[in-house]
Structure 1
């Protein structure tokens, strides 16, 4: 009989994610995929999504054969940062379209595009705060030897 919910087949990161039996070095490598994405994003400004993806991808490439726990966390970090990069690209494109609409209407369209621009700015702020909070939670979960799946994430790397 299974003693922990982490030992069931439903655990998305597998049985190694239960915390018990996850070595300290595995926890550190898994956490580095998440924390590295945050650090690289802060250091690279507008290329945050690309740099964040690189952290997860680098850890995945280096350690995927060594530990399922590390590989699962690295995949999640990559996929989440890819998702947010695409979200920010979509927001930037929408912003450019709003500017274009304002210019094409000789400024008269600002009545509609200005409120839409404010909504886009608020959405970008919400996404950025969500990215930061989720990245920190994922780092702590990895350090504790626990599984973590980011919400609203395209899972491209499986």
Structure 2
């Protein structure tokens, strides 16, 4: 007989098999076909922003120039693209034609100075201190001409001392021919762009 109370299920029997509340069938909200798409998938959901770390694809770092003297990315020293002049004095280097011209001047200028108190070394010295700082070739030839004329000056002093024993006259004449001959040879050589070294030269300047 029914008393109005739910029946107690037997052991091993589910409540639905006995009395009590039966869940409705065919009701509720069924899940969509195929399930819910994951976040970021096409067709719905939340797509996370595509952040890329610096140095990875999708990130472009600003191209700041490094400080002066510092290496840049890729190794080595960043070349300066400005217009700084070159040379030891901050001036532009000499062209090949200018180098030959000044090298000739270093040797020929001694011819002008030899008649002024035997100052044949003055001309090469001026060339050494001016354009010689802009070209290693001009500097080398100016030093060579300077050393040669200093040597000739020393030989001349010895020759004039020996004038008192008569042999000095021959030495002075021979020394003049020697000096003039090799000065001309040196001028011709450097006009062709060839370096020249004088014989019998005391090289005091380096």
Q: How does 1:3-152 map to 2 (within 5 A)?
A: 23-42=96-115, 44=116, 47-48=117-118, 51-95=119-163, 98=164, 116-117=165-166, 119-152=167-200
2: CA distance, partners of 1:52 / 1:144: 23
Give the structure, 1 or 2, with the largest relative contact order (CA under 8 Å, sep 6 or more): 1
2: CA distance, partners of 1:40 / 1:67: 23
Q: How many residues align?
A: 112
Q: Give the number of the structure whose alpha-carbon radius of gyration is greater.
A: 2
How far has the Cα of 1:26 moved from its partner? 0.3
Structural RMSD (CA): 1.3
How far has the Cα of 1:122 moved from its partner? 1.3
Tell me which stretches of 4 or more aligned residues in structure 1 moved more than 2 Å: none
- Give the TM-score taking structure 1 as reference length: 0.67
Structure 2 gap ranges (5+): 1-94
